[in-house]
Amino acid sequence: MSQLHKYIPIGENTGDETTLPQYDHAGPSEEHTDEATQSGQRSRVTLLLSIVFLVVLAALKWSDVVEWVNGEWRLTPQREAERDKQMKNVEDAEQYALIANMPGYYECMHCPSKRAFLNFVTRNI
């Protein structure tokens, strides 16, 4: 840390020739710059290791979904079965429209709060 030189006024009119106090070590010390450099290097290494970890993790998940067959990417058999099951569920699905006569909260068996707000919409069906 810097320290102030003790100022001792000199001369007949000591208040006229005053100068600002001067500091020891105006720039950063060697110890401080070494610590800053080491801290910066640690940050870069940590960032690099984090990126490598995320890339490896992403690659592992990618290999669970796709595989390289005859020069092209294809879904794994397990993922194809999951996709086909989801498509069948979509094809077998039914959709209902609930239209309220008056806006307000109505009972909902599938909602976490067991109530849902329905707004009145005027349209011809």
Which run of H or E residues covers position 85?
A: helix 77-91
SS3 state at 64 = helix
With 0.85 as the threshold, say if the pTM is over it: no
Domain ranges of the chain: 30-118
CA distance 119 to 110: 18
- Full pLDDT tens readout for the chain, 125 residues: 555 556 566 656 555 555 665 655 555 555 556 676 777 888 899 999 999 988 887 776 777 788 888 999 898 898 899 889 989 888 888 887 778 888 899 998 888 899 999 887 776 65
Q: Residues for the chain: how many in total?
A: 125
